[in-house]
Structure 1
Amino acid sequence: MVGLAVGLDAQREAAGTWARATAERDHLPSVPPIAEKLAGIQHALAAAGASLHLARRGASTVGFCILVPRGGFLEVRYLATEPGAWGSGVGRALLEHVQQHARRRAFARGELWVLADNARAISVYERAGWVATDTVEVRGTAGRVERRFVRNFR
């Protein structure tokens, strides 16, 4: 189940998921401290209208996304699932939630950025109807190339 979440505890849960997911994705020798990832989560949530949405199985957080209204579209600023939940449909459920959220708020389209070499995530996005654009940029502090994806919600 995916739902809106508020408060520092929810932000810490999202930061923990992000830390574990990026460590697994990037084959890091250890999981970065949650405090390192919390700053990015809080920065994204500081954007006007931003909201945090957690995916839960029972009492456990298994994924999250941060959604930010930007002009005429809805930006997916973060989307991650716990590595132990990869391949179990959590990403698909989060993306369905994004679509429902966008439609309830009358957003006709969405946008997200994904690391250009993250084939697993790209496959999930494409199966959910997101389309790669030709727009690529080095974004953030990691210095890695990201590709812009878009989706129409109507």
Structure 2
Amino acid sequence: MIPSTPAPDLFELRPGLQGDAEQCVGVWVEASAARDGRHVEGVAARARGKFDRRVAWTVATDSAGGVVGFALATRPGSGIESDPPESPVLGLLAVDPRAQGSGLGRRLLEHVTELLAGQGYSRAVLHVLTDNAGAVGLYERDGWVPWGDPVEHSLLRRDSQTYVRDLTLAVHHDVAGTSTPSGPRA
């Protein structure tokens, strides 16, 4: 059960498991519908196809164990042609609409970024709809920078901007709560 104004630390983060995929797709569909004001045909099928190409997957669960958010990154080359080569793609990041605004999206973003840095990737890429101001703000505050010109999203027919994140600057939060740089060093 999701409280009316949940704090991000009320949710447990854990690695995604194969059995979580359909719940994650459901969260993706509902979050997309909340963003777009309607359900769009093809969103679920497009999301399902990304789970087989994953290199990092984090799931947030509520006290009952239900999936309330997740972040999924896919292998390099699984985005668009103009993406930086050898960069994994943060292809899906979604929070149940009832938990949006709680800070959980930021927590998921930071965690999946740490996972990618820990795997030795030096940068990652994502694509965001340019009219999704909340997501654009989240990514920019977290150090993601625009890459190239906007392109039309193939399903939604709206402008999408590629963003890149230098993972050598990713921050790791240890058990004591202090922050230390993680990932590859120059």
TM-score (norm 1): 0.85
Give the 3 Å change call, closer, same or farther, for CA 72–39 of structure 1 in structure 2.
Answer: same
Q: Does structure 1 residue 16 correspond to structure 2 residue 16?
A: no
Unaligned runs of 5+ in 1: none
For 1:4-153, list aligned pairs within 5 A. Answer: 4-7=15-18, 9-28=19-38, 31=39, 37-47=43-53, 49-58=54-63, 59-70=65-76, 71-153=85-167
Is residue 2:14 matched to residue 1:3?
yes
Please list every run of 5 or more consecutive structure 2 residues that lacks an aligned counterpart in the other structure.
1-11, 77-84, 169-186
SS at match of 2:23: helix
Letter of the structure 1 residue corresponding to residue 74 of structure 2: V
The count of residues paired between Structure 1 and Structure 2 equals 148
Q: Is the 8 A contact 2:146 2:163 kept in 1?
A: yes
1:150 to partner: Cα distance: 0.8
Secondary structure of 2:117's match? helix
**Greater alpha carbon shift after TM alignment, 54-63 vs 107-116:** 54-63
- Give, in angstroms, the shift of residue 55 of structure 1: 1.4
Q: CA deviation at 1:66?
A: 1.5
In the alignment, is the contact (CA less than 8 A) between 2:20 and 2:67 conserved in 1? no
Measured after TM superposition, the shift of residue 91 of structure 1 is 0.7
Q: TM-score when scaled to structure 2?
A: 0.72
Higher strand share: 1
Q: 1:32: how far off?
A: 6.3
Larger Rg: 2
